[in-house]
C-alpha cells in the first residue's frame, strides 16, 4: 500500500456515502500521494469503496452527501470491483460457512506479495505493481488468493503443522480490474477418524470443495463439465478447469505443480481450488413448483464397460444419462478397475443407472430396451463395450 506523510482527514468529512446499516464498516485514511502511486482500498462488499473512489474522481453518486467543497484535480484512477456472482444466493459469510463446514479454516491474507511468487500464479502487469510497498517483498497485487494461501501454508508447514485446510474469499487483481474469488488449499493428510483411516489429500478433495461451493451458489450442477486445461500452477495430469458450457470457465482445482511446491516449500501433494465468483450467471427465477413425488418405485441396473484408460468417466456418464432422459433419473460411477483379466491400456468403469417410471411400473422388456439404449449410447460416445458382452 502506498503511503504519504500528508493525510487529508477532512476528505472523509466532505464525502459521506449514505450506506444504510454499514457505514461503520469502511475505515479509510486518504493520503495526498505523489503521481503514479497506488493505494489499496479494502473492505467488505457493499461498504462504499467504489462510491468513495467515484467521488474522488469527481463523479459523486446520487446517494452521496457532500458537505463543503469537493475539489477534483484529475489524475485519479482505480480498478473497480466486480459484484460477486451476479447476486447469486449467498453473501461472503454464507460462503464461508459452506467451506468451514468442510473442515477448512478461513484466512485473511495480504492482497499483495512479491512479484516473483505472483508470477507463478498469473500475469504480473506493471499496472498492478506497488511503487511504495509497505515491505520490499510485498510489491505486487496478487493474481489469486491461492497465492497468498500457499505462503501461509508454507509458514505453517515450516513450524510442523503439515496437515492443513485453508480458504479465503477475497479479491484477485487483473489488469482490467478486481474480481472476487474463493480459493482453498489442503496439505498433508485427512483428519484421524474411527470411521475411516487417514489418507493423503488428493485432487478429488479439492474438486469436492469447489463443487460444494458451486452447488451452494446455485450453479447448474448438471451443466458443469471438467476439462484437462487447468492453469500452470496446477499439476497437468491431476487437475481440471470447471466450465459451464464450452467457453465459460468458473474455476480450477487439482494438485499443485511439483515445481511450485518445491519453490514455495509446500508439502508435496498439496491440492487447491479457485472459483471466480463473478463468472457465474444468475439463475433464472422460476416459481417454486410442488415437490415431485413419483408413485412408482425406482429401478436400478448396473453396467460395467471396458474402455480405454484415458476415457473420461464424465463423458461415459453423460452418454448413459442421455440415452433415455424421460426414464433415467441418475447415473453414478461406483467402481474403476484396471489389472488382471483386462487387456493392457483398458479399464473397467462400473456405473449404476436409476430408472424412475412416472406413469406405471416398467416391464422386464421395457427395462431391457432401455438397457440396450444405454449400451449403444455409451459405445457410440466413447467406444467402450459392455464387459462380458
pLDDT (tens digit per residue) in 170-227: 999 988 888 899 999 999 999 888 999 999 999 999 999 999 999 988 888 888 999 9
Give domain status of residue 305, yes or no. yes
d(CA 217, CA 277): 9
Are both 169 and 217 inside the same structural domain?
A: yes
Paired strand residues for 244: 224, 248
Give domain status of residue 312, yes or no. yes
Query: Lowest-confidence range among 60-64, 250-254, 322-326, 384-388?
Result: 60-64
CATH number of the domain residue 203 falls in? 3.30.930.10
Are both 253 and 322 inside the same structural domain?
A: no
Give domain status of residue 348, yes or no. yes
**Domain final residue pick, 276, 311, 330:** 276
Q: Quick: pLDDT tens for 88-122.
A: 445 667 889 999 999 999 999 999 999 999 999 99
Are both 118 and 260 inside the same structural domain?
A: yes
CATH number of the domain residue 326 falls in? 3.30.70.380
Are both 95 and 52 inside the same structural domain?
A: no
Are both 109 and 254 inside the same structural domain?
A: yes
Are both 135 and 216 inside the same structural domain?
A: yes
Are both 26 and 97 inside the same structural domain?
A: no
Q: Which helix (H) or strand (E) holds 377?
A: helix 364-382
Are both 62 and 93 inside the same structural domain?
A: no
Structurally, the chain folds into a number of domains equal to 3
Is the per-residue pLDDT at 87 higher than 60? Answer: no
**Domain final residue pick, 39, 66, 93:** 66
d(CA 325, CA 315): 16
Q: Give residue 70's pLDDT.
A: 56
More confident residue, 360 or 1: 360
- Domain assignment of residue 60, given as a range: 10-66
Are both 100 and 40 inside the same structural domain?
A: no
Are both 266 and 164 inside the same structural domain?
A: yes
Q: Is 86 exposed, middle or buried (0-12, 13-18, 19+ CB in 10 A)?
A: middle
d(CA 113, CA 99): 24
Are both 195 and 303 inside the same structural domain?
A: no
Are both 103 and 246 inside the same structural domain?
A: yes
Residues 6+ apart with CB under 8 A from 43: 25, 26, 27, 49
Amino acid at each position: 500500500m502506498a503511503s504519504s506523510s500528508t493525510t487529508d482527514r477532512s476528505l472523509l468529512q466532505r464525502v459521506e456515502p449514505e450506506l444504510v446499516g454499514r457505514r461503520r464498516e469502511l475505515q479509510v485514511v486518504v493520503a495526498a500521494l505523489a503521481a503514479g502511486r497506488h493505494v489499496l482500498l479494502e473492505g467488505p462488499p457493499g461498504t462504499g469503496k467504489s462510491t468513495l473512489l467515484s467521488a474522488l474522481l469527481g463523479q459523486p453518486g446520487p446517494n452521496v452527501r457532500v458537505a463543503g467543497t469537493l475539489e477534483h484535480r484529475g489524475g485519479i484512477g482505480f480498478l473497480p470491483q466486480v459484484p460477486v456472482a451476479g447476486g447469486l444466493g449467498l453473501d461472503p459469510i454464507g460462503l464461508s460457512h459452506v467451506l468451514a463446514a468442510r473442515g477448512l479454516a478461513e484466512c485473511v491474507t495480504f492482497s499483495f506479495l512479491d512479484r516473483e511468487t505472483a508470477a507463478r500464479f498469473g500475469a504480473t502487469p506493471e499496472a498492478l505493481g506497488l511503487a511504495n510497498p509497505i515491505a520490499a517483498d510485498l510489491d505486487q497485487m496478487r493474481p489469486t488468493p491461492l497465492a497468498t494461501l500457499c505462503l501461509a501454508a508454507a509458514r505453517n508447514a515450516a513450524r510442523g503443522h503439515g496437515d492443513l485446510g485453508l480458504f479465503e474469499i477475497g479479491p484477485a487483481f487483473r489488469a482490467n480490474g478486481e474480481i472476487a474469488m474463493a480459493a482453498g488449499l489442503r496439505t498433508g493428510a485427512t483428519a484421524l477418524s474411527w470411521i475411516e483411516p487417514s489418507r493423503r489429500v488428493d485432487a478429488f478433495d479439492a474438486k469436492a470443495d469447489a463443487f460444494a461451493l458451486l452447488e451452494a451458489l446455485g450453479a447448474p450442477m448438471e451443466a458443469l463439465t471438467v476439462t484437462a486445461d487447468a492453469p500452470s500452477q496446477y499439476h497437468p495430469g491431476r487437475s481440471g478447469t470447471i466450465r459451464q458450457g464450452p467457453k465459460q470457465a468458473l474455476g480450477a482445482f487439482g494438485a499443485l505443480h511439483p515445481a511450485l511446491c518445491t519453490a514455495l516449500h509446500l508439502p508435496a501433494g498439496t491440492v487447491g481450488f479457485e472459483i471466480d465468483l463473478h463468472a457465474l450467471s444468475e439463475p433464472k427465477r422460476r416459481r417454486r413448483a410442488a415437490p415431485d413425488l413419483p408413485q412408482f418405485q425406482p429401478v436400478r441396473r448396473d453396467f460395467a464397460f471396458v474402455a480405454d484408460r484415458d476415457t473420461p468417466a464424465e463423458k461415459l456418464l453423460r452418454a448413459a444419462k442421455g440415452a433415455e432422459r424421460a426414464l433415467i433419473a441418475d447415473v453414478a460411477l461406483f467402481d474403476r478397475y484396471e489389472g488382471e483379466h483386462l487387456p493392457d491400456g483398458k479399464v473397467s468403469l462400473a456405473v449404476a443407472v436409476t430408472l424412475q417410471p412416472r406413469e406405471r411400473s416398467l416391464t422386464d422388456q421395457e427395462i431391457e430396451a432401455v438397457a440396450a439404449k444405454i449400451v449403444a449410447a455409451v459405445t457410440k460416445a466413447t467406444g467402450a463395450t459392455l464387459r462380458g458382452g
